[in-house]
Amino acid sequence: MTLSVAVVGGSIGGLTAACLLRDEGHDVTVYERSVAELEQRGAGIGFLSATSRYLVERAAVSLPELSIATDHIRYLRRDGSVAHDAKHRYLFSSWNTVYRRLLAHWHAGGGDYRLGHEMTGFDQSDDAVTVQFNDTSEGSGNTASDGSSATADLLVCADGVGSSARSWLQPNTSSNYAGYVAWRGMVPEAELPADLATKLTDAITYYVYANSHILVYPIPGLDGSVEPGQRLINFVWYRNYLGSDDLTDLLTDRSGNHRELSVPPGAVASHHEAEARAVAAARLPAPIAEIVARTEDLFLQVVYDIEVERVAFGRVCLLGDAAFAARPHAAAGSAKAADDGWALADALRDVEAESVPEALNTWEPGRLVLGRSLLARTRDVGGRSQVHNTWTPGDPDLIFGLHRPGD
Ligand SMILES: Cc1cc2nc3c(=O)[nH]c(=O)nc-3n(C[C@H](O)[C@H](O)[C@H](O)COP(=O)(O)OP(=O)(O)OC[C@H]3O[C@@H](n4cnc5c(N)ncnc54)[C@H](O)[C@@H]3O)c2cc1C
């Protein structure tokens, strides 16, 4: 049975689900609010197998084409010496690299990816769901206030951490600021002294200090290149801000605009960027401080815990960060988004249009269990470094993983 499916949100979660549902024979359209193809978001990602699974199993892409392997987990002391070093293999990629590969595969199969389509609402009946959009796509001739709509058997909302769908479907969802943000940046490996580049490309390198920690790892270059010399060194630095004026000021960008979820490169207020650079120089081990110093533009993302009570609502479902958004300490956000898509495709196999709500109800319990367990684990890990100062190098609970540490 071919179902018509509207996927809203064309990032890693939406595209993975779209590809999987198309592979099952369904008629899928992806609607993305950005007017141009997405770029440069999220920088590096710990690359868990659920994130790579679609590209490897269905798009004939090999892991070494997409990612960089590191063989050590290393902790530095303040003086730059090694405090702890354990053999452990991780893969790292970048949001752009994965997105571009998924989008290329989607287009290669004739996939319909509609940019400039911002979902503004939906209505569902027993038989169908109708989605409304602001259509500002190129060539539409529309202004931002013009609308269009689409009717489908199923609406998959993969509209991310700031999901409108979540706020309509679960208006009382708790979206809790975790108490800290991630300062981020990247430096081309080629711009680093050779000995520093060598030190930072065979490991994930941590420094943990009072109520903060930073991690550094190699990722593909902006063009997706994984060759030595072409890669980037990426850092994620967790720093605490009170969820009041303190955070509001941080999220007020250089032009005075208030942002909710992130402040992109080049937009962080100069007094905050200067403060972060000064703290890095004063408090981080020299090899890590040098990466921060050499980063052209710092950017930041706010860390939230978002928990929903349900993810299936008749013919509409929430997937990826639109459902649960967990702190990044398990490196599992995109992996969960992708895994939601695999489970959804399984649940919808051979389902008739009239049985879509029932199929979503069978899909939901597993998603709730996974989302809750990931939230609980990442909350605990974040608390250890940012609040309790009980983060112990070598603790197996700190290993990345979607279902549990290491898996
Ligand atoms: C600091 C930090 C570090 C992270 N590190 C990792 C990591 O190491 N590994 C990992 O796997 N994950 C990591 N993540 C998490 C990961 O980035 C997210 O979990 C992942 O991007 C979620 O994918 P998604 O497709 O659900 O949502 P998103 O990537 O947020 O995409 C949502 C899409 O929906 C679109 N959209 C929004 N609203 C609408 C609308 N109304 N209409 C149409 N389109 C809309 C947006 O433009 C966007 O393209 C990290 C996150 C942070 C903050």
Overall fold of domain 72-89+177-303: D-Amino Acid Oxidase; Chain A, domain 2 (3.30.9)
DSSP 237-272: EEEE--TTHHHHHHTB-TTS-B-SSEE-TTTS-HHH
Residue with tokens 């269009």, as numbered in its chain: 148
In this predicted structure, what is the pLDDT of residue 136? 79
In this predicted structure, what is the pLDDT of residue 144? 45
Whether the CB of 31 sits within 6 Å of ligand 1: yes
Pocket test for ligand 1, best of 45, 235, 370 (most atoms within 8 A of CB): 45
Q: Where are the beta strands (DSSP E) in 9-128?
A: 27-31, 44-46, 68-76, 82-94, 112-114, 117-124
Domain 4-49+99-174+305-398 has CATH 3.50.50.60: yes
Whether the CB of 33 sits within 6 Å of ligand 1: yes
CB 97 within 8 A of CB 66: yes
- Atom 12 of ligand 1: nearest residue by CA position: 333
3-state SS of the chain: helix, strand, coil percent to 5? 35, 30, 35
Pocket test for ligand 1, best of 7, 16, 33 (most atoms within 8 A of CB): 33
In this predicted structure, what is the pLDDT of residue 174? 75
Q: Where are the domains of the chain?
A: 4-49+99-174+305-398, 72-89+177-303
pLDDT per residue rounded down to tens, the chain (407 residues)? 899 999 999 999 999 999 999 999 999 999 999 998 776 655 899 999 999 999 999 999 999 999 999 999 999 999 999 999 999 999 999 999 999 999 999 999 999 999 999 999 999 999 999 999 998 776 655 544 457 999 999 999 999 999 999 999 999 887 799 999 999 999 999 999 999 999 999 999 999 999 999 999 999 999 999 999 999 999 999 999 999 999 999 999 999 999 999 999 999 999 999 999 999 999 999 999 999 999 999 999 999 999 999 999 999 999 999 999 999 999 999 999 999 999 999 999 999 999 999 999 999 999 999 999 999 999 999 999 999 999 999 899 999 999 999 99
Whether the CB of 348 sits within 6 Å of ligand 1: no
SS3 (DSSP) at 390: coil
CB 185 within 8 A of CB 299: yes
In this predicted structure, what is the pLDDT of residue 163? 97
Q: How many CB atoms lie within 10 A of CB 224?
A: 16
